[in-house]
Amino acid sequence: MDYEQILKDIKPTEKEQQDIDAMSDRIVNYLTETCKKEGIDAKISVVGSVAKHTALKGKSDIDVFMAFSLDVDLDTLKEKGLYLAHKCSDAFDGNASQHFASHPYLTTDIDGYEVDLVPCYEIEDGSQLKSAVDRTILHTRYVKANLTDEGCDEVLLLKKFMDMTGTYGSEFKVGGFAGYLCELLIIKYGSFEETLNAACMWQYGHVIDLEGYATSSQFDDPLIVIDPTDKNRNVAAALRLNKCCEFIQSARNYLASDNKKDYFYPLDKSLDKEDILDELRKRGSDFIAIKFDIPEMPLDTLHPQLKMTASSLAEKVNNEEFNVFSSSYSSNEIDSAVILLEMASSKLNDIKINKGPKIFLNKACNNFTNKYGPENCHVMDDFLVHAQKREFSDAVKFIESIFTDKNIRKIKVGKNLRNTIINSYKFISVDDLASDEFYLQFLDDFLNPGQYIVR
Amino acid sequence: MDYEQILKDIKPTEKEQQDIDAMSDRIVNYLTETCKKEGIDAKISVVGSVAKHTALKGKSDIDVFMAFSLDVDLDTLKEKGLYLAHKCSDAFDGNASQHFASHPYLTTDIDGYEVDLVPCYEIEDGSQLKSAVDRTILHTRYVKANLTDEGCDEVLLLKKFMDMTGTYGSEFKVGGFAGYLCELLIIKYGSFEETLNAACMWQYGHVIDLEGYATSSQFDDPLIVIDPTDKNRNVAAALRLNKCCEFIQSARNYLASDNKKDYFYPLDKSLDKEDILDELRKRGSDFIAIKFDIPEMPLDTLHPQLKMTASSLAEKVNNEEFNVFSSSYSSNEIDSAVILLEMASSKLNDIKINKGPKIFLNKACNNFTNKYGPENCHVMDDFLVHAQKREFSDAVKFIESIFTDKNIRKIKVGKNLRNTIINSYKFISVDDLASDEFYLQFLDDFLNPGQYIVR
């Protein structure tokens, strides 16, 4: 396999690297000077993949951290940090917008580079942590100290492979591998291919403990990678079981493949609406697609809430004896989301058994016959039961009854989505759904859930 | 409640009782004389409900037992017993046919009475038992010694009540209360009404231990009635859980009812085919009725085999993801039987998930992708799976596939029914089924499973 060829496409050129390094230096120098001039005690450094030289081409966002001493109080840190950030952005004619992670930071666009200016505390190890961002400096330091230049290339290959097979990124929408996790894997296994070879043999709860802390027993996760900078942290804690498994399987597929190069590039596939609708029809399923508006909310909140709502709805529909073959969800992240239920059967007969008390409970049986009339009750095994009209023999009608002010509490619905679902939901045919290019891709992914992990 | 009125209808008249006693005496005398004359050492006695005066009107079959000493070997017992039986039948111009229980006996029709002539061993307690019939003499003796004349009337009321509510009879078709069990209940509780009062409060595993043997812990049955003539036997062992429960509930219904008298007479109901078909249609169910021939076989073998076949088929159909709402079976006991499945849904989509190995099993995963092609596999949770065409999306087609030489082993089918099902089964519409008066009653019972336990 000719990885040089791949690296040409995915690694920033030397010129690009020099430019970004130069820009980083200018920002660091500016902030350091400003601190000195204004008597602010903060250490300025570039962190993240740019600093580590593990950024993929085109993903060269510059992360600049301003580290304050631990004895500075949080309000002062925020105030001075944001002051420095805004001043810096202004000095470079940046276009800034303020964000909140565990504490506020500034994102600014400077000469086409996305620059994050983040105040944090200066810590020496994980035990001193005051907020999640504090450890970033430690991570950067660890990787720079332990990753060779060749190792950086291997990280790029691994990140790109994961990105193209759908397992890269720790944000909730993906639930995959974080960049730092990729770097630690390469430090552990030495190369992209050796990482894949190893992954094929991983068992549930596989432990990678680079510094030999022997603290893995506190974790129950699919993959356990002890943070070299914090022995009580699993770097892979946010990696979802299915993403871990998809990575393992994509590794097997890659190693056995004759089309290895293709694994580093997007799927070469153009979507045809009619083909996709044909595929859907061939399955003989009833599709129930529910479309609704989404409110303004962070994407890392939207996706978990959608996931919870979709799976809770599917479970509820199944409990009502309808047979949900598969459920999924998607959002264009702009104005709408869709929950899709594919039904193995969505219609039922009109009668159901209302199970009463055990026959051996005298009083409860008398209450039951008083309520329903003894002539309407009979015995099943050792239960007194009552046959009654089934309230919902059509899954769509059942869902309509759930998506109301009164009944929506019967499912676990994302709290930001509750009202927008009730007020804006509508059933939409898959034909109509497929007319929206974004949701056409969603339908194609739904039909081909394994298409990213194999070429 | 005027039980005298009921007893008039259900108790043999004095004249009838005298006639049957006279006939019993004549048979006993004849056999006793013959034994004496021919030097056969057997004690002749009348047993069963006629001897105990607990026979319902019209059910006065005469059971005559010929008890041989325990030192007589079994072949001799059979030979001499049947010799005596045939000789007796001939002497009274009987119309005889030979039967087999645990050993052979003769049934003969003498002057309109059905007389069973049964050879057995003379035992003093259950521990000496050589065959199931041996204990009948002990039972008869115990009941005659412990049941008053008034008690006999109470037994008649209890038997008739159970018969009309569907819980009387220990044969497999019913799985209900044996006559001897009824007698012991009256000996325990004193009267019909007190028995019902007590039953309302029974818990699972209720113990009745008239002789205080304290041996109940060896049994795990819904009702435990220690046999006064055999401390290691539960008289209610053959009582099925649902029949025990139906009796308890019918007791509650009776005690609360204003129509008590009706509980001693058959349901006053004429069946209308169109009404019944209407009722069936209203349920919105798909009905799958399968009719097949039955071979010559004892009814106490036929019914368990039908039950097993029907429930195993229903379970299999459910496992295939079809939704069986209810299943039942019936046989006219002449030439045919029917299994009826009422489906909440009998159609499915055309796709199913073929679940493969856990992702963490490297070799198994490689075998799986080699078999199906990696491009056809995807990951669900931590399993490798393959979406494939569902073989049967219609429950009827699935059942057709089961009722073949090759596949019938996939269900637990009664061994006497196996071939006759494969060779003669056909799907029959409920309309056609309802045209047969016997199966019309079956459909009515199916629609109204609680109709016998309440009036």
Report pLDDT for B247: 98
A222 and A315 inside one domain = no
Question: Could you tell me the CATH number of the domain that includes residue A177?
Answer: 1.10.1410.30
Say whether both B305 and B414 belong to one domain.
yes
**H or E element in which residue B10 lies:** helix B3-10
**How high is the pLDDT of residue B101?**
59
- Taking an 8 Å cut-off on Cβ atoms, the answer to whether B222 and A393 are in contact is no
Over residues A74-103, mean pLDDT: 88
Q: Of B132, B167, B194, which marks where a domain is finished? A: B132
Note the pLDDT of residue B128: 86
Q: Note the residue count of chain B.
A: 455
Percentage of chain A beyond pLDDT 90 is 91
Same domain (yes/no): B198, B341:
no
Question: Is A323 in contact with B321 (Cβ distance < 8 A)?
Answer: yes
Indicate whether B103 belongs to any domain. yes
User: Stretch B279-289: mean pLDDT, rounded?
Assistant: 97
ipTM at complex level: 0.89
CATH code where residue B413 lies: 3.30.70.590
User: Same domain for B232 and B380?
Assistant: no
d(CA A226, CA A419): 41
More reliable by pLDDT, A100 or B284: B284
To the nearest whole Å, the CA of A389 is away from the closest chain B CA by: 8
> What's the CATH code of the domain at B79?
3.30.460.10
Q: In the predicted model, is pLDDT for residue B103 greater than 90?
A: no
Q: Is the pLDDT of residue A102 over 80?
A: no
Judging contacts by C-beta atoms under 8 Å, the chain B residues touching residue A381 are 241-242, 245
- A&B contacts, CB < 8 Å: 160
d(CA A92, CA A81): 17
C-alpha A92 chain-centroid distance: 33
Q: For the whole model, what pTM was predicted? A: 0.84
* Cβ <8 Å between A252 and B450: no
Based on the domain organization, do B285 and B429 belong to the same domain?
A: yes
- Please tell me the predicted confidence (pLDDT) of residue A101: 59
Same-domain check for residues B100 and B116? yes
Whether the CB-CB separation of B343 and B325 falls below 8 Å is answered with yes
Same-domain status, A242 and A334: no
Q: Cβ–Cβ contacts within 10 Å for residue A155, how many? A: 28
Q: How would residue B298 be classed by pLDDT, with cut points 50, 70 and 90?
A: confident
Cα B415 to the center of its chain, rounded Å: 19
B218 and B106 both lie in a single domain: no
Interface check for B453 against chain A (CB to CB < 8 A): the answer is: yes
Mean pLDDT of chain B: 95
Residue B126 confidence (pLDDT)? 80
Q: Does A380 touch chain B (CB under 8 A)?
A: yes
pLDDT tens digit sequence for A212-243: 999 999 999 999 999 999 999 999 999 999 99
Q: Which of A1, A450, A77, A33 is nearest to A257 (CA)?
A: A1
- Tell me the pLDDT band of A300, cut-offs 50, 70 and 90: confident
The alpha carbon of residue B285 is apart from the nearest alpha carbon of chain A, in Å, by: 5
- Asked if residue B329 and residue B259 are part of one domain, the reply reads no
User: In the structure, what pLDDT confidence band is assigned to residue A391 with cuts at 50, 70 and 90?
Assistant: very high
Residue B254 clears pLDDT 90, i.e. is over it: yes
User: Would you say residue A7 has pLDDT above 90?
Assistant: yes
| Contact residues on chain B for A257, CB-CB shorter than 8 A | 374
Give the mean model confidence (pLDDT) for residues A399-425.
96
Q: Say if the Cβ atoms of B349 and A284 lie within 8 Å.
A: yes
The reported pLDDT for the residue numbered B341 is 98
* Interface residue B281 vs chain A (CB under 8 A): no
Q: B168 in helix, strand or coil?
A: strand
B430 domain-assigned = yes
Confidence band, pLDDT 50/70/90 cuts, at residue B102: low
Which of A221, A243, A378, A446 best probes binding to B when mutated, by most B CB atoms within 10 angstroms? A378
On whether any CB of chain B is under 8 Å from the CB of A268, the answer is no
Say yes or no for a CB contact (<8 Å) between A204 and B378: no
Q: Are residues A340 and A207 in the same domain?
A: no
Which residues in chain A are contacts of B342 at CB distance < 8 A?
A: 349
Q: Is A378 on the interface with B (CB under 8 A)?
A: yes
| Cβ pair A118, A131 in contact under 8 A | no
Q: What is the pLDDT of residue B402?
A: 97
Residue B139 placed within a domain: no
Contact between A354 and A388 (Cβ < 8 Å)? yes
User: How far off is chain B from A328, nearest CA to CA, in Å?
Assistant: 12
Chain B residues in contact with A380 by the CB 8 A cut-off are: 242, 449
The last residue of a domain, from among A266, A285, A320? A266
Q: Looking at the DSSP assignment, which residues form a beta bridge with residue A296?
A: none
The CA-atom distances, in angstroms, between B297 and each of B171, B246, B303, B306, B417 are 15, 29, 10, 12, 10
Tell me which of B263, B268, B269, B349 to substitute to probe the interface with A (most A C-beta atoms closer than 10 Å).
B349
Residue A141 inside a domain? The answer is: no
Contact B202 A378 (CB under 8 A): no
Q: Is B248 an 8 Å CB contact of chain A?
A: yes
- Residues from chain B contacting residue A362 (CB–CB below 8 Å): 200-201, 252
Same domain for A366 and A340? no
Encode pLDDT of B329-365 as tens digits. Answer: 999 999 999 999 999 999 999 999 999 999 999 999 9
pLDDT at B418 over 90: yes
Query: Region B375-400: what's the mean pLDDT?
Result: 96
Q: What is the pLDDT of residues A392-411, one digit of tens each?
A: 999 999 999 999 999 999 99
B contact residues 412-451, partner A, Cβ 8 Å cutoff = 449-451
Q: Write the pLDDT tens digit of every residue in A316-350.
A: 999 999 999 999 999 999 999 999 999 999 999 99
Tokens of residue B404, six digits: 């073949």
The encoded tokens of residue A20 equal 């970004």
CA B438 to chain centre: 18
Question: With contacts defined as CB-CB under 8 Å, which chain B residues touch A250?
Answer: none
- Which of A202, A244, A283 faces B350 most closely, judged by CB atoms? A283
Quick check: B351 and A284 CB within 8 A? Answer: yes
Under 8 Å between Cβ of A404 and A398: no
Residue A137 lies in a domain: no
In a domain, B141, yes or no: no
**Residue B60: pLDDT band by 50, 70, 90 thresholds?**
confident
* Cβ contact B409:B362 at 8 Å: no
DSSP state of B104: E
**A338 assigned to some structural domain:** yes
- Last residue of one domain, picked from the residues B84, B108, B132: B132
Band of residue A298 on the pLDDT scale cut at 50, 70, 90:
confident
Residue B101 contacts A where some CB pair is shorter than 8 Å: no
- Kindly report the nearest CA distance between residue A286 and chain B, in angstroms: 8
Best CA proximity match to B180, nearest among B214, B201, B217, B210:
B210
A397 and A384 both lie in a single domain: no
Q: Could you tell me which residues come within 8 angstroms of residue A214 by beta carbon, excluding any fewer than 6 positions away? A: none
Mutate to test the interface with B, among A221, A324, A372, A379 (most CBs of B within 10 A): A379
* CB contact (8 A) between residue B450 and residue A379: yes
What would the mean pLDDT of B393-412 be, rounded to a whole number?
97
B360 lies in a domain?
Answer: yes
For chain B, what is the domain count?
Answer: 4
User: What range defines the domain where residue A57 resides?
Assistant: 1-132
